[in-house]
Every structure is written in structure tokens, then in C-alpha cells.
Amino acid sequence: MLELQGVHVHYGLSHVLQGVDLKVGAGEVVGLFGRNGVGKTTVMKTIAGWLAPSRGRVVLDGQDIGGAASDAICRRGVGFVPEDRRIFPGLTVEENLALGFMQVPRRSGVESRRKLDASFQRFPRLAERRRQLGTTLSGGEQQMLAMARVLVGEPRLLLIDEPTEGLAPKIVDEIFDIMQGLAREGIPIVLVEQNVRRALDLATRFYALERGQVVLEGRGTDADDRRALFAAITV
């Protein structure tokens, strides 16, 4: 479904990604792991169109989308939940969710309401706070709102960057339960997550990055691959 082929990305003179290759198949959960600053978030932003590759290809369904506008990539079915969540100030939970409908502008009002109701069933905490300003929610609730806002647009591929960072253990459990449910529904996910052990239980496959390059590829269920991953990412 998605393939990165020799992708290089620069921030000014800084060469952040140095020939990254990875693949995401239909229904897969693919984990991206590595120490801070190795390029994981840059990979996500490049797929989503927030950054343009200086070399290489980002291929979605056989078409190169590298360097395309982020809104065009979004309309092609790539949903991105960034690490900073980007909840819109001054808007309620329901109004934040409604912005997700912009991903599918031809959807009818009846269908939009159905998707909104389904979102509140998936995230009951948000249903309880639907009239509350999004920026007044707790950190965990804001993470749920960021995920729900992307999901109302029915993405065909979901990018989730550090969804549990700084959250209480109970909320971490809820976020992983939600992601497990999405995986059961067959939504392909690319996941960056510091809780590597929990993420490996979810991941079909994984890649480890170091200094902007893939240094290891493996399967989340393979014990030898898991040991190799921890050896690769441990200081």
C-alpha cells in the first residue's frame, strides 16, 4: 500500500533521512523505533506531506506522492495524528471533530452525523465533553480527540506519532485498546511509540532507525527480532 524508496530529507543543511526504505502492506501495523532524534517523526511528516523528500520516492497505491501538498495527501486517505495533537483553541470537542469532515468534502450531512455518532461511541470520554473546549481537556483526552478527528475522515492509512507520551498508565491502556481495535478493523497503521514493548505486541512488523537510516527490520511476534531491536535501540 505504501512504500518509501531511498528517501532523503534535509532540514536546511542537516541531512536527517539518509536513504530510508520501508513498506506498509494492507492491514499491517508497522512500528518505527529508535532513540530520540533519529528521524522517526521526519518519516511520518514526509509521508503526510508536511515535508518534501530531497531525493527518493514516497509511493502510495503505485503513485509517487513525495512532495505533494499535505491536503492532497490527506484527501487520498492518509490520516496523520501528530505528536503535538494540534487541538484548535476556541473550538469545542464537537467542532474540532467536525473539521475532520473536510477530508471528505462530498459526504452528506446525514453521513457526517452518523460518523460523528460512531466516533462518540468509540471515544465515550469525548461524548461526555462534546460541548467543552478542546484545549481544556486532559492530555489523554486531547490525544483521543486528535485521533477521533482524523478517524471521522475514514483514512485508509493512519500515521500515529507518540500517542502515549506523558500520559497516565490508565490512559495509556485506553489508547492501546483503541489502536488494537483499529488494527482489528484492518486499518493500516504506522506507529511511532516510546513504549516499545507495548507497541511490539501491536505491530505486525517494525523498523529501527539510527542516524536517519533503517538499521533493522523485523516482526513484532518474533522473539529473536525483538531481542535484536532492543539491542539496536538501547544506549
Give me 126's grid cell.
Answer: 469525548
Give me 200's grid cell.
Answer: 511490539
- pLDDT number for residue 134: 95
Name the average pLDDT for the chain.
93
Structural contact between residues 143 and 167, judged by C-beta atoms closer than 8 angstroms: yes
Spatial neighbors of 139 by CB under 8 A, at least 6 apart, are 166, 167, 171
Give the model confidence (pLDDT) of 164-223 as tens digits.
998 999 999 999 999 999 999 999 999 999 999 999 999 999 999 999 999 999 999 999
* Percent of the chain topping pLDDT 70: 98
Which DSSP letter does residue 165 get?
Answer: T
List, in order of start, the domains of the chain with CATH numbers: 2-77+156-233 (3.40.50.300), 86-151 (no CATH)
- pLDDT number for residue 105: 65
Give the model confidence (pLDDT) of 33-80 as tens digits.
999 999 999 999 999 999 999 999 999 999 999 999 999 999 899 999
Q: Mean per-residue pLDDT for 92-120?
A: 82
Structural contact between residues 213 and 19, judged by C-beta atoms closer than 8 angstroms: yes
Structural contact between residues 99 and 88, judged by C-beta atoms closer than 8 angstroms: yes
- pLDDT number for residue 175: 94
CB burial readout 124-160, b (16+ within 10 A) else e? ebbeebeeebbeebeebbbbbbbbbbbbbbebbbbbb
Cα–Cα distance for residue pair 175/181, rounded to 1 Å: 10
5 pLDDT more than 90: yes
